Amino acid sequence: MSEIPSELRYTQSHEWVRQEDDGSVTIGITDHAQGLLGDLVFVELPEVGSDLSAGEACCVVESVKAASDVYMPVSGEILAVNEALLDAPEMINDAAFDDGWLFKVQPSAEQELDNLMDADAYQEEIEE
């Protein structure tokens, strides 16, 4: 069974969002998503400083099997990216919610966070 931490928010496209104390959010793909993709071998991260809208494709994760887009869960500016993934994309397989984070965003429209699912709703979503 996939792990779904209760303190995070989720999207239908399998991104997770963690609200940090400084008002930024950290984003990654869920354990369920990495399981579907299989062994990850390449990650293309967004550019730090770019402004992107919610729902926009901003990042690509590739497994041996396939390439998959990652979408912005909320609008905002990219503050940082997890450069360690460039040499070790398998960290997403090993720790999707932790060392496998993808990028940090300064949200420009905080109310968008309310559109995201909580853990229970995401659980239901992936059981469908």
Partner 1 sequence: MSQRTVLFDKHVEYGGKVVDFAGWEMPVNYGSQMEEHHQVRNDAGMFDVSHMTIVDIKGAGVLAFLRYLLANDVAKLKDEGKALYSCMLTEDGGVIDDLIVYYMNDSWYRVVVNAGTRDKDMAWISKQAANFDVEIKEQSNVAMIAVQGPQAREKAIDALPLDVVEAASPLERFYGADCGEWFVGRTGYTGEDGFEVMLPESEAAAFWDKLAAAGVKPCGLGARDTLRLEAGMNLYGSDMTEETSPLVSGLGWTIAWEPADRDFIGRAALQAERDKGADQKLVGLVLEGKGVLRGHQKVIVENVGEGEITSGTFSPTMQQSIALARVPKATGETCQVEIRGKLLNARVVKPVFVRDGKPV
Query: Where do contacts with partner 1 occur on this chain (CB under 8 A)?
Result: 38-39, 41-42, 44, 60, 62, 64-65, 67, 86
Our CB check for partner 1 shows the closer of 8 and 61 to be 61
Our CB check for partner 1 shows the closer of 86 and 109 to be 86
117, 10 in Cβ contact below 8 A?
A: yes
53, 75 in Cβ contact below 8 A?
A: yes
Q: Kindly state the smallest distance separating residue 23's Cβ from partner 1, in Å.
A: 31
At residue 91, what are phi and psi to the nearest 5 degrees?
-60, -25
Our CB check for partner 1 shows the closer of 64 and 121 to be 64
Q: Kindly state the smallest distance separating residue 37's Cβ from partner 1, in Å.
A: 10
Residue 27 CA, distance from chain mean position: 4
Nearest to 24, CA basis, from 108, 82, 114: 108
